[in-house]
Amino acid sequence: MEYIFNQHLDAALRQAWTVDMKNQFNIGVVSSERAMQAELYYSLRTLLNEKYKIFVEPIEIRIKGNLKGMVPDLIITHEQEIICIIEIKYMPWKNILHKNDMDKINFYSTLSKVEQGIKINPLTGDYIQNEFTYSESLVTIFAAIGKSTSQPFDLKNWSGTKNTYLFIGTKNNENLDSIVFEIKSIHEID
């Protein structure tokens, strides 16, 4: 079996998306993108050990000192490495437009140098510099709930990205049994 990053993180991500997120969506408490973000955070926080940290919208990405206007929805670290960046989209009754999200995921998948801190000093509020590095195996995830006909759910639209996974939640009709939460690897098209 191919793991997303490692066996422990893989199991937590799969549980958080295909079981926990699906259950919370089905009972009606996932009502917005922020609710999705909160549910993913809570689920992952309870499933991962203390070596993993989860940051919610921690930074605006900088490259060569310049702000890029991109703020990841979630960043997961393991010890001193940034190992996963998650971008979230919630449009369950509409087709998701993917151009901006695809650009963000493509951009995140190329990151190699951390130019600013993501963790703060609780005494000063300043970001702690040089604490984390990007993993050479950095994983990017586009987690979305939308109509099954949404462009981002077609793997061929993601050609050229690396280490990227789609966490897809779709509904095909009004029956809760028809709601599918699945994980697809971009590598399935390579």
Q: Which region among 69-73, 81-85, 134-138, 150-154 has the lowest average model confidence (pLDDT)? A: 150-154
pLDDT value of residue 138: 86
Q: Where are the domains of the chain?
A: 7-189
Q: What is the mean pLDDT of the chain?
A: 81
| Residue 173 in tokens | 């009709």
Q: Are strands 133-147 and 164-171 parallel, antiparallel or unpaired?
A: parallel
Task: Express as a percent the part of the chain with pLDDT over 70.
Answer: 80
pLDDT (average), residues 85-91 = 90
Residue 41 banded pLDDT, cuts 50, 70, 90: very high
Write the pLDDT tens digit of every residue in 129-143: 878 888 888 888 989
Residue 48 clears pLDDT 50, i.e. is over it: yes
- 36: which 2 tokens? 């999705």
Q: pLDDT value at position 189?
A: 37
User: What pLDDT score was predicted for residue 190?
Assistant: 37
Select, from the ranges 3-17, 29-43, 78-92, 128-142, the one with the highest average predicted confidence (pLDDT): 29-43
Per-residue CA distances from 31 to 36, 58, 93, 130 (Å): 8, 23, 11, 37
